[in-house]
A and B are shown apart, each in its own frame.
Chain A
């Protein structure tokens, strides 16, 4: 058994326990058997760098990231509701390009998801090799790549870098 197997097993068994919540012995035994088999078969396809799970500071930054994300999400919703309900439809859409320094797949996925759920922006495509994200912006404030990066990406990038990279 390698570390990546064990980490995947923990994730799977937690998910199984939540799904079958008032847990009893039968559920537990079946869960352990199936999760053990699955994590044995596909162990290091998902967890490629097991050492990052040891750093405590990553979890603390993740706890800080959750309320920030929820707050941005609520702001995004109020923004969209305002734009939709306004009689003149105050939108100014366009697709802009921004740059990111993140490298790992997990970090890029979380960055793209966060961008989609935050005010006025939605990620359309990603160029992982060069680190470009193409973003549909409902109210384009600046077409320049650096200023758009500052407005859209910067607030998440620092935190996500500490969590996932």
Chain B
């Protein structure tokens, strides 16, 4: 039974990872791409790891899979934040059809 549920979780994870990679190709600029890759790849990878945990149970590798979920959830948003902030401060423009950029306005006002 556990193995069947594990397979389902791994399948869902693979699907979300696929959508993340698709977003990386299709979306127009750095920030949108970061959105797609961060969200989908985080949950997709966590889902795959959780499926692995269901396979292995509370053994050495199962517990390590759970720890990996914790660390991915803690670190993936931070790296996306750092990348987007770095991109903005080194002058990467938003997409042409973007609605507003209050961050650039505020930075101009400060400087």
Task: Give chain A's interface residues, CB within 8 Å of chain B.
Answer: 15, 18-19, 21-22, 73-74, 76-77, 80-81, 83-85, 89, 91-97, 109, 112-113, 116-117, 120, 122-125, 132, 134, 136, 138, 140, 143
Interchain Cβ contacts within 8 Å, total number? 132
Does B8 sit within 8 A of A, measured CB to CB? no
- B residues contacting the other copy or chain, number (CB 8 A): 48
Q: A80-B23, A134-B103 are in contact. Are A113 and B78 (CB under 8 A)?
A: yes
Q: A95-B100, A136-B31 are in contact. Are A77 and B38 (CB under 8 A)?
A: no
Which chain B residues lie closer than 8 Å to A22 at the CB level? 59-60
Closest chain A residue to B100 by CB distance? A94
Decide yes or no whether B5 CB sits under 8 A from chain A.
no
CA of A89 to CA of B43, assembled, Å = 21
CB-CB under 8 A from B106, the residues of chain A are: 97, 132, 134
Main secondary structure of the interface of B (DSSP, over half): helix
- Chain B residues whose CB sits within 8 angstroms of the CB of A143 once the complex forms: 99-100, 102
Closest-CB distance, B111 to chain A (whole angstroms): 14
* Shortest beta-carbon distance from B26 to chain A in Å: 6
Docked Cα-Cα span, A143 to B80, in Å, equals: 23
Additional 15 contacts, C-beta under 8 A, given A22-B60, A89-B28, A140-B100: A77-B43, A84-B23, A84-B36, A85-B19, A92-B97, A92-B99, A93-B97, A96-B100, A116-B81, A117-B38, A122-B31, A124-B31, A132-B106, A138-B32, A140-B99
- List, in ascending order, chain B residues with CB within 8 A of A136's CB: 31, 34-35, 84
Q: Which of B39, B74, B78, B103 touches A77 (beta carbons < 8 Å)?
A: B39
- Determine whether B67 belongs to the interface, using a CB cutoff of 8 Å to chain A: yes
Mask of B1-41 contacts with A, CB within 8 angstroms, 1/0: 00000000000000010011011001111011011101110
A106 to chain B, nearest CB (A): 12
Chain B residues closer than 8 Å to A18, beta-carbon distance: 63-64, 66-67
Q: Who on chain B is nearest to A22 by CB?
A: B60
Return A144 CB to nearest CB of chain B, in Å: 11
* Bound complex: CA A132 to CA B102 (Å): 11
Chain B residues, Cβ within 8 Å of A15: 67
A94 and B101: CB pair below 8 A? Answer: yes
Task: State A145–B42 Cα separation when bound (angstroms).
Answer: 29
Q: How far is the CA of A17 from the CA of B28 in the complex (A)?
A: 45
